[in-house]
Structure 1
Amino acid sequence: MANDRTPPSGISDVAIAHDYLTQRGGAEKVVLAIHRAFPDAPIYTTLYEPQDTYPEFADTRVFTSPLNRVAPLRRSHRLALPFLAWASNRMRVPARHTIVSTSGWAHGFRTAGSKIVYCYSPARWLYQQDAYLGTNKLTPKSAVLKILSPLLRRWDRRKAATATKYFAISTVVQERIKATYGIESEVLPAPHSVDLTVPQEAVELPGGFLDGFYFCVSRLLPYKNVDAVIGAFTQLDLPLVVVGSGPEEKNLAALAGPNCVMLKNLTDGQMQWLYAHCTAVVSASYEDFGLTPIEGAVHGKPSVVLRWGGFLDTIREGETGVYFDAPTPQAVARGVEASRQVAWDEAAIRAHSTLFTEEHFARRLRDEIVAIENREAAR
């Protein structure tokens, strides 16, 4: 279904809002999970580029901001940063209840009814700029952020205060929401969306990889620390498959040796095959949640992850994975070596993944809508 800039006439019961649909990542998977829970809900977003995000969005009703007319902004949402507050202010969602999926913009959309915010993090580019940019040096991007930040922080905090209910994706994000906005939120883990009925599609890999490769799935951004993972596997001389795209793609490709294969834009069937055939999932990212270890767990695969953030909520040390303490090649390598000494129980790992189902996630959102309606009826 093609995107549209004209909202539907009348008021929807439930609508979904998201920052922008221009990439494939965990947040976009959550939006699809919300849509499966509320299949009649239209989606409102600032930018939508169908070829760069999940194809399932083509079967939804997507309404966009005027910025979507500018093709370069659809292809690179970071170019739109100076204009996104304006575009978010222009977005009006005619619905009794709007479920907002956001890490920076969609909580600023104007809603006709309740606004239930599902927050991945207060905007990293406003409150964690060095981590977001990967440097504290002055660059054109950091210069623009420095100029715009005071105004955008005021806008951001004012818009956060318009929420009816705040959910946080993890405990670390719950703490960050309190510190940034002074808002008490409820932790609601994101659901995995692995469908084991999807037929696996084999991915062509070098011969040595078939003996058991390690798997890193990530947007290629500085704070994801994929360079540390590649460096670790160069030291270990073990096979590594990296799936993802982003601004660091060229730099990381230059680091990757013959033991590292970099892929992107894979189908669900190909991703299923890689999870099913990997030895373990590896991530050195500063993740506010981190879906990939859970997706690996659905296939009975352990994880080797940074002891930080959302991973602390989702990994049981020694049972479903191991931690390392710093995003450095040496620390990652030690974590991988430690994981190779464990006799992993695939059944226990799979059982752990059932704590993060779409059914539980959807039920909590529906219960919140009922609670809001009951409060409205009691007034």
Structure 2
Amino acid sequence: MSELVKLKYALVHEWLTPNATGGSELVVQEILKHIDADLYALIDFESTNPKSYLYGRTIGTTFLQHFPLARNGVQKYLPLMPLAIEQLDLRQYDIILSSSHAVAKGVLTSPNQMHVCYCHAPMRYAWDMTFDYLRSSRVGQGIPGILTRYVLHQLRQWDALSAHRVDYFIANSKNTARRIWRCYRRRAAVIYPPVAVDRFPFQAEKQDFYVTVSRLVSYKKISLIVQAFNQLGRPLVVIGSGAELQHIQRIAKSNIQVLGWQPDEVVDRYLSQAKAFVYAAYEDFGIAPVEAQACGTPVIAYGAGGTLETVKDRRQFGATATGILFSEQTEQSIIKAVENFEEHQKRFAPEEARSHAQTFHPTGFKQRYLAFLDSAHKEFQSNLP
């Protein structure tokens, strides 16, 4: 690792805004704790945010930085994102690191620059969520829909082609590694993202309510959870903001509290006190269920994608289980899972959940990520002409 310290690094991410606070941003933050890298992104509105760890930092951006309303979501300029990321001039760096869920991996590099991509997911708009995107978007229907389909077709081609610019892929889960192979035919090492386990208060004694914490957007399926609890009549607390907030407030019955956005201390309190955390989204990793387990709170989750790797299902793990997985994203499946949980609630040990969450501690990420860079660089150097 001593040789690597002397090298010059660039770290490329998609976008940096106050609204982008998910798992991919936590990976960027963790990498910067251990590697002295210059940071680049399509847009940056974090370096001017006094509350951000990036406040005052010099961050390289693209022409999209100056486009109208980019701050509120650069995704509206999706067709231009590949072109924009290719305009970043990174020739001065020895090693390019990317944290990518859309186009960051597509930066241009030379043969003597090693590019390691930490991939959170292949571009969802172009692959898995194409038909959801077309169905929910105003530009997915009629004549505009034909143009949108063509744009997505072009994006798929660019996305697959740009994968060849990466020397080494790291996936955030086995599930993502499978998707990388399917989309790009590239193998990826699996290094789970860091979860700030120490931030979350452990509490063994639970109160009589369920909780879900999420951005309130369609693919997170929060409205499905609310509809299930409308039928169950059990107390549920919903925390988060997003496009579906008003819809969820409208359909929620009196047994459901919709709190909207809340600061970390409030989120932590509800996570630690809840009898269980409910999660119905398909995620490539999904950091929220691990955060709940860090509080000693068992998880009731959709058993697909990342949760198969982060939640230990009662039927498979018995006394060391940390939750219950359900097989379908339906109201009835959620209802059955909640009823199953209540039947076996006393068998879940909060200490088991906390212990399992520790396996995703940032120290593990640091050790595995830096070791991977060291090994990859030695291999890369040996293969240079």
Amino acid at match of 2:70: L
User: How far apart are the structure 2 equivalents of 1:186 and 1:172?
Assistant: 11
User: How far apart are the structure 1 equivalents of 2:50 and 2:339?
Assistant: 35
The offset of 1:59, in angstroms, is: 5.9
- Alignment size in residue pairs: 358
Listed as ranges, the gaps of 5+ residues in structure 2 are 1-5, 315-320
Alignment check: 8 A CA contact 2:195 2:291 kept = yes
1:14-53 residue pairs with structure 2 within 5 A?
A: 14-22=9-17, 23-38=20-35, 40-50=36-46
- Using a 3 Å threshold, how does the CA distance of structure 1 residues 52 and 303 change in structure 2: closer, same or farther? farther
Alignment check: 8 A CA contact 1:131 1:222 kept = no
Amino acid at match of 1:331: S
Alignment check: 8 A CA contact 2:85 2:106 kept = yes
In the alignment, does 2:280 pair up with 1:284? yes
Of 356, 363, 367, 2:360 maps to 356
- Using a 3 Å threshold, how does the CA distance of structure 1 residues 145 and 213 change in structure 2: closer, same or farther? farther
User: How far apart are the structure 1 equivalents of 2:50 and 2:78?
Assistant: 19
In the alignment, does 2:122 pair up with 1:125? no
Instruction: State percent identity of aligned pairs.
Output: 26
Alignment check: 8 A CA contact 1:224 1:284 kept = yes
Partner-residue secondary structure (3-state), 1:16? strand
Partner-residue secondary structure (3-state), 1:46? strand
User: How far apart are the structure 2 equivalents of 1:213 and 1:57?
Assistant: 37
Q: Give the equivalent residue in structure 1 for 2:108.
A: 110
Of 323, 326, 331, 1:329 maps to 331
- Using a 3 Å threshold, how does the CA distance of structure 1 residues 132 and 138 change in structure 2: closer, same or farther? closer
- Using a 3 Å threshold, how does the CA distance of structure 1 residues 132 and 218 change in structure 2: closer, same or farther? farther
Q: TM-score, normalised by structure 2?
A: 0.85
In the alignment, does 2:155 pair up with 1:160? no
The offset of 1:66, in angstroms, is: 1.7
User: How far apart are the structure 1 equivalents of 2:51 and 2:139?
Assistant: 31
Amino acid at match of 2:115: K
Structure 1 residues 50-83: Cα deviation after superposition (integer angstroms, max 9, x where no partner): 3999733326443221211224011122212122
In the alignment, does 2:312 pair up with 1:310? no
Structure 1 residues 108-163: Cα deviation after superposition (integer angstroms, max 9, x where no partner): 12346221111121111101235642x64774146253121222122111111111
The offset of 1:265, in angstroms, is: 4.1
Q: Give the equivalent residue in structure 2 for 1:3.
A: none
User: How far apart are the structure 1 equivalents of 2:30 and 2:275?
Assistant: 27
User: How far apart are the structure 1 equivalents of 2:62 and 2:371?
Assistant: 30
The offset of 1:88, in angstroms, is: 0.9
Partner-residue secondary structure (3-state), 2:165? coil
Partner-residue secondary structure (3-state), 1:341? helix
In the alignment, does 2:260 pair up with 1:256? no
RMSD: 2.7
Q: Give the equivalent residue in structure 2 for 1:56.
A: 53
Of 340, 351, 359, 1:338 maps to 340
The offset of 1:290, in angstroms, is: 0.8
Alignment check: 8 A CA contact 1:125 1:145 kept = no
Listed as ranges, the gaps of 5+ residues in structure 1 are 1-10, 201-209
Q: TM-score, normalised by structure 1?
A: 0.86
Amino acid at match of 1:140: V
